[in-house]
Amino acid sequence: MKQYFLDRQLKKIEREANDEFLQILSFGAQCYSTPELQDLLRQLDKKVQLHAYYRRIVFIIGASTTLWIAFCFLFQSLDYPIGVYATLAMVPVSIIGFTAGNIFLNRKYRAVRDAGLVEKIIVEELDRRRKDASIY
């Protein structure tokens, strides 16, 4: 049992050590070269766009709950019990999908929550290097 927890902790440490954005938040951007920082800015932009796209999909899944309830009322007024049961079954599916999607996005795109700060750190480091290069 202890080995399982140890392996899990090691995997977590390794995953966090491989995340450059968390490294920048923790230690700064000084240890990265300029091309690496520019590449990290592009990667961060792509991650932010991808996160926004997936966030919209998860929101649509959550918002569909109200649609299923409206269809349930419609089928109830039409006295169509199969439609009522089918739409009522979709309500918890939508809620579970919304919740699971949010949990997944928050775990997979942890660095995106601090994307503004990471971008600011990288841009400040690039500006500092640009100013230092202009001195010489």
**For 15-73, what is each residue's pLDDT tens digit?**
666 678 878 887 888 888 888 889 999 999 999 999 999 999 999 999 999 999 999 99
Tell me the residue type at 5.
Answer: F
User: Total structural domains in the chain?
Assistant: 1
Is residue 87 assigned to a domain? yes
Provide the H-helix boundaries in the chain. 2-17, 20-27, 34-77, 81-108, 110-113, 115-135
Q: Which residue range forms the structural domain that includes residue 65? A: 36-130
Is residue 12 assigned to a domain? no
Residue 100's pLDDT is: 97
Q: What is the pTM of this model?
A: 0.74
| CA-based nearest residue to 71, from 57, 56, 91, 98 | 91
Tell me the residue type at 124.
Answer: E
Q: Which pLDDT tens digit goes with each residue over 109-123?
A: 877 888 888 899 999
